[in-house]
Structure 1
Amino acid sequence: MTRIKLLYVEDEPFLGKIVKESLESRDFEVCMVADGGEVMSKYLTFGPDLCVLDVMLPHRDGYELAQEIRSINPRMPILFLTARTQTDDVLKGFQSGGNDYIRKPFSMEELIVRIRNLYQLAGTRGDVAPQHSASTGTSPLSESIRLGRYQFYPHLYELHLGGQVRKLSHRETELLNILIENRNFKVQRRDILMRVWGDDSFFNSRNLDVYITRLRDYFREDPTVEIVTLKGVGYLFKGAEQVQA
Structure 2
Amino acid sequence: MPTVLLIEDEAALGMIVRDSLEVRGFTVRYATNGDEGLAMFRQERPDIIVADVMMPQMDGFTLVEQIRKVDTDIPVLFLTARSQTADVVRGFELGGNDYLKKPFSLDELIVRINALLRRAMVPQLRVQPVSDFLPIGRYQFDPPKQKLVLDSHEVLLSYREAELLRRLYEQRNQVLERAVVLMEIWGDDSFFNGRSLDVFITRLRRHLREDPQIQIVNIRGIGYKLII
Q: TM-score, normalised by structure 2?
A: 0.59
In structure 2, the residue matched to 1:120 is: 118
Structure 2: distance between partners of 1:94 and 1:231: 29
Alignment counterpart, residue 160 of structure 2, candidates 190, 201, 212: 201
Q: Measure how far apart 1:202 and its partner are.
A: 3.0
- In the alignment, the residues of structure 2 paired with residue 85 and residue 231 of structure 1 have an alpha-carbon distance, to the nearest angstrom, of 30
Kept after mapping to 2: 8 A contact 1:91/1:207: no
**1:172 aligned counterpart, secondary structure:** coil
Q: Which runs of 5+ in 2 are unaligned?
A: 144-158, 168-208, 215-228
Q: Distance in 1 between the 2:137 and 2:68 partners? A: 32
- 1:102 equivalenced with 2:100 (yes/no): yes
SS at structure 2 position matched to 1:52: strand
- Give, in whole Å, the separation in 2 of the partners of 1:206 and 1:91: 17
Aligned CA distance change for structure 1 residues 95 and 173 (closer, same or farther; 3 Å): closer
Map of 2:55 onto structure 1? 57
Equivalent residue, structure 1, for 2:74:
76
The answer on whether the counterparts of 2:5 and 2:50 sit within 8 Å (CA) in structure 1 is yes
After the TM superposition, which residues 39-54 of structure 1 pair with which residues of structure 2 at under 5 Å, given as runs? 39-54=37-52
The change in CA–CA distance for 1:23 and 1:109 in structure 2 (over 3 A counts) is same
| Aligned partner of 1:93 among 67, 91, 102 | 91
Q: Which runs of 5+ in 1 are unaligned?
A: 125-153, 156-169, 180-184, 194-199, 209-229, 235-245
The 1-side partners of 2:18 and 2:90 are apart by 26
Using the TM superposition, give the Cα deviation of residue 172 of structure 1 relative to its aligned residue in structure 2, in angstroms. Answer: 3.0
Q: Which amino acid aligns with 2:128?
A: E
Other structure's SS at 2:128 match: helix
In the TM superposition, residue 4 of structure 1 has moved relative to its aligned partner by 0.9
Q: For residues 40-98 of structure 1, what are the alpha-carbon distances to aligned partners after superposition, in whole Å with 9 as ceiling and x for unaligned?
A: 11001111000001000111110111111111111110000001111111111111110
Aligned partners of 1:205 and 1:23: how far apart in 2?
26
> How do 1:1-245 residues align onto structure 2 when only pairs under 5 Å count?
3-123=1-121, 171-172=127-128, 201-204=160-163, 232=211
Q: TM-score by structure 1 length?
A: 0.55
Matched residue SS, 2:69:
helix
Kindly tell me: are residues 84 and 45 of structure 1, through their superposed partners in 2, closer, same or farther at Cα, counting changes over 3 Å?
A: same
Per the alignment, in what secondary structure is the counterpart of residue 108 of structure 2? Answer: helix
> Cα RMSD over matched residues?
3.7
The CA distance in 1 between the partners of 2:166 and 2:87, in whole Å, is 12
Whether the aligned pair in 1 keeps the contact of 2:93 and 2:130 (CA below 8 Å) is no
Partners of 1:204 and 1:113 in 2: CA distance = 14
Query: What do residues 77-133 of structure 1 show as CA deviations (whole Å, max 9, x unaligned)?
Result: 000000111111111111111000001111010000000000001116xxxxxxxxx
Residues 206 and 13 of structure 1: is their aligned pair in 2 closer, same or farther, counting only changes over 3 Å? same
Task: Call closer, same or farther: CA 1:86–1:63 in 2, change over 3 Å.
Answer: same
Q: Note closer, same or farther for the CA distance 1:171–1:43 as it changes in structure 2 (3 Å cut).
A: same
Identity among equivalent pairs (%): 38
* CA offsets 1:2-56 (integer angstroms, 9 cap, x no match): x011000000001111110010000000001002122211001111000001000
How many residues align structurally? 157
Q: Give CA deviations for 1:157-209 in whole Å, capped at 9, x if unaligned.
A: xxxxxxxxxxxxx6335998x98xxxxx959989x97xxxxxx833448999x
User: In structure 1, what residue type is equivalent to 2:80?
Assistant: T
The separation in 2 between residues aligned to 1:207 and 1:81, in whole angstroms, is 20
